[in-house]
Chains A and B, each alone.
Chain A
Amino acid sequence: MTITLRGNKARASSRPRFGLAWVTWRQQRATLLVLAGLAGAVAAVMLAAGLRGHALYPAFVKNHCLQVAGPGVTEVSSSLICRRLGGQFPGIGGPFYLLSGHTAVVVNGSFLNSYPTDMTLALLAMFLLTGMFLGAPLLGRELGQGTFRFAWTQGTSPVRWCVSKLLLLGGAVMAAGAGLGALGAWSLQPFNLAAGTSRWQDGQFETTVLTAAAWAGLAFVLGAFSGTLLRRTVPAMAATAAGAGVLLAATFWKLYGLLLGVHPLITQDNAQASAAGLATTAAPVRLLDVPLGASAGHMNPGPPGSLLLRGWYAGPDGRRLTGAPAEALINAYQRSPAGRDWAAWLSRHHDTFLVSYQPAGRYWIFQGVEAGALLLLALLLGAATVWLVVRSRGARIRGRRPGPG
């Protein structure tokens, strides 16, 4: 490789961009091929799941197998055809059964019990691996082993050498991330329609065409930055995994909720009170101020396509009920012989259940904000990487004495 470059210097410099691209490919081809193979495998699984789901969903609709939200009850048809169709959805793992007031999804002993979760984890793990195995050794190995001294004598400045590598590989990584994210979102459409999941859920929200591309690019640049900073491959890989892992954990734990909690709309939705579980005590729930979440929204969706955030009671005067008044309300309902129509009971007593939500139209705005923030972070890290390379001892030596032997 290197001998060819030296021998054909004139030709290589006449096509400098292509030359650097070729060198980048030659140096990283083993890693790139392995990562491409992994991405291909993940894409094949998503394609298979998506095709199956899209083929099954019309049959679900035709046979009336979709969940139906009634007052206080979510009903799922338990006919043989529905149980068979439900069992065929990849990864759901078992048939739905009708229970009075409850939907039980029987999961057959799987650890991570659904395709949506598995898919999200697989994509995020792939991005981590890209940062570790492609990003961390990219510049760190050359700086650590000293081969950069040779590379910079070939008529390429350190800045261009560094920027080209980052842009070429980063662009490819982001394109692959965007493709996988788009394919994943497409494959999840039937699940969201049939199985009570939502595109607003944290896992799906972090792996759309925009956010997947941004996470992939960020993980890659974080790897390149760690490699340049530490100049040793294994510590750089560990730092990349730790850094990206901590950022992902923080996002899933707090940042996602903070972003989607910005300036919600509020509307009255008495039917939601029963879907939120207030009329049943089988599972402990927060009674006074209920986090509803994305999956609760499917059972009793509120405004179409929206993300329900929180729900609370308001008295006839419109004020939020907390503490003793709210408990009194719930106890009064439980003592009433009115059956389980919680929504109607609330209306009769002039009480309301209010929900805060993000409307469907804001989905791509939030996506853009998150992807933009991640990309900005990636750009900053990329600039810091170039700066580290430029001010490194090797670059300064080259400036004084071009082409050291």
Chain B
Amino acid sequence: MTAATIGRPLAVGGWGRLAWPAWRQHRAALAGFAVVSGVLAAVMLWAALAGHAYYTALIRDHCIGSRQLARCGPLLGDFPWLENGNYDIAVTLLARAGPVLAGVFLGAPVLAREYERGTARFTWTQGTSRTRWALVNVMVLAVPVVAVSAALGALATWSLQPLRALGQASRWQGSFDSTPVTLAAWALFAFLLGVTAGAVLRRVVPAMAVAGGAIAALVLVNAWKLHGLLLTTGAVVTRTRLLADQFYALPLTNGEQFFFGGSLARAPAGSWVLDGWFADRNGHRLTGAALNPLYSLKAPQQQAWVARHQASVWISYQPGRHFWVLQGLESGVLLALALALAAATVVLIRRSST
């Protein structure tokens, strides 16, 4: 800060003049954010490079789905993430925990700290409007949060590609919320929820606790229920046929198929199967005891049973072309909520007494 800055009212220089003190105030938070993001980015970059190199080697040696163990065996042992899908789970957890941390550590203190220390009162005497003051403080953090989240989402998506190509991870499941679009939307929403909690409670630690609780609750409800509901939106129902048991021949792609005990039915590549069922000759879905013998049959007998009873096999699935539509739907809802929170915060600040 120069003497000239102190000597003049802050409003004279407009937005830029406000941005400098805001940056000074939040640089510790931004530095912490940069360090954490940098570490995550480095880990994902390493995972992406290793995974893509491995996948290239698999393609080069024609080892995908191969049974030639002498040639492909040593190569197939090189990819530790394939076991238990650990990397996919780690990315999913980060996409869950990241927004909570952004809301708690970056969002909640922004306004709460100014209220708690009373520095808000000083700032409001400096000839700048409260709204502008709050907006600048929020934007100084919100812009990096959104930009870095989108970048991390892109990196996560890229690093998961080899696992997806091998059928070990699905873009429809855990990593649905770690694409650039959804991760940025979640981060912005969580950040603004923290800001609003700070503006309401005006004390830092309670605001952090409330924001953390609220964001975590939403993240969990989304994981347990809302995501499932989202995936049923606009699902396609189609009649299909049973395939013979092919477990030994092909790399399994989770989510593109439905298991009917002995055999399975597949949906088009890139889709996500929601449900599968048998229907009788009148088209009614078979339930309960009628299925009991059917599920204990091996694949050929199952196919024969279906033919003999003039039954039909059905699946409902989300086709691959709906992926970005659903991504947009979820992100749109989150952005609308974020805007509502921002508006509520502005109203709160305007009405607050000094």
Contact = CB atoms under 8 A, between A and B. Distances in A.
A237 B208 contact: yes
A283 interface: yes
A351 B206 CA distance: 65
Interface string B242-254: 0001011001100
Given A111-B92, A280-B247, 6 more contacts: A109-B227, A109-B228, A133-B209, A234-B204, A284-B82, A330-B69
Contact of A79 (B113, B208, B227, B296): B296
A260 to B, nearest CB: 16
Interface of B: 28, 32, 36, 66-67, 69-70, 73-74, 76-77, 79, 82-84, 89, 92-93, 96, 101, 105, 109, 113, 166, 173-174, 204-206, 208-209, 212, 223-224, 227-228, 231, 245, 247-248, 251-252, 259, 261-262, 274, 288-289, 291-292, 295-296, 298
Contacts of B228: 108-110
Given A78-B296, A97-B295, A100-B298, A133 B70 contact: no
A284 B77 contact: yes
A345 B314 CA distance: 42
Interface string A237-255: 1100110000000000000
Contacts of B77: 284-288
B69 A80 contact: no
A235 B262 contact: no
Interface in A97-122: 97-102, 104, 106, 108-112, 121
B69 A281 contact: yes
Interchain residue pairs A-B with the least CB separation, the first 9: A284-B76, A286-B77, A111-B223, A287-B73, A80-B292, A327-B70, A109-B228, A78-B295, A97-B261
14 contacts: A97-B261, A102-B247, A109-B274, A111-B92, A112-B223, A133-B205, A233-B204, A237-B205, A280-B247, A282-B247, A287-B74, A328-B70, A330-B70, A331-B70
A110 B70 CA distance: 37
Interface in A62-85: 78-80, 83
Nearest to A137: B205
Interface string A196-235: 0000000000000000000000000000000000000111
Nearest to B83: A291
A224 to B, nearest CB: 15
A154 interface: no
Nearest to B100: A125
Contacts, number: 118
A34 interface: yes
A111 B247 contact: no
Contacts of A330: 69-70, 73
Contact of B69 (A133, A137, A327): A327
B296 A287 contact: no
A235 B252 CA distance: 46
A34 B213 CA distance: 11
Given A80-B288, A97-B261, A99-B259, A34 B174 contact: no
Contacts of B252: 282-283
Contacts of B205: 133, 137, 233, 237
A392 interface: no
B101 A285 contact: no
**Among A101, A137, A237, residue most surrounded by chain B Cβ atoms (within 10 Å):** A237
A334 interface: yes
Contact of B28 (A133, A235, A237): A235
Given A233-B204, A284-B79, A284-B82, A111 B248 contact: no
Interface of A: 30, 34, 78-80, 83, 97-102, 104, 106, 108-112, 121, 129, 133, 137, 233-235, 237-238, 241-242, 280-288, 291, 293, 324, 327-328, 330-331, 334
B291 A80 contact: yes
B129 to A, nearest CB: 27
B98 to A, nearest CB: 12
A146 to B, nearest CB: 14
B173 A97 contact: no
Contacts of A108: 228
Given A109-B173, A111-B173, A287 B259 contact: no
Contact of B247 (A83, A99, A133): A99
B261 A99 contact: yes
A234 to B, nearest CB: 5
Given A104-B259, A284-B76, A284-B79, A34 B292 contact: no
Nearest to B263: A99
Nearest to B166: A284
B231 A109 contact: yes
A104 B254 CA distance: 11
B259 A106 contact: yes
A326 B109 CA distance: 60
Given A234-B204, A328-B70, A330-B69, A98 B296 contact: yes
**Among B73, B84, B208, B245, residue most surrounded by chain A Cβ atoms (within 10 Å):** B73
A241 B292 CA distance: 50
A287 B261 contact: no
A233 B209 CA distance: 13
A121 B89 CA distance: 12
A102 B67 CA distance: 17
B109 A234 contact: yes
B251 to A, nearest CB: 8
A289 B74 CA distance: 10
A287 B225 CA distance: 39
B245 A238 contact: no
A324 B83 CA distance: 24
A154 to B, nearest CB: 24
Contacts of B69: 281, 287, 327, 330-331, 334
A100 B70 CA distance: 25
A100 B82 contact: no
Contacts of B84: 293
Given A111-B227, A334-B69, A285 B76 contact: yes
Contact of A100 (B173, B231, B245): B245
A234 B105 contact: yes
Nearest to B58: A284
B332 to A, nearest CB: 21
B291 A281 contact: no
B174 A100 contact: no
Contacts of B274: 109
A284 B66 CA distance: 10
Contacts of A121: 93
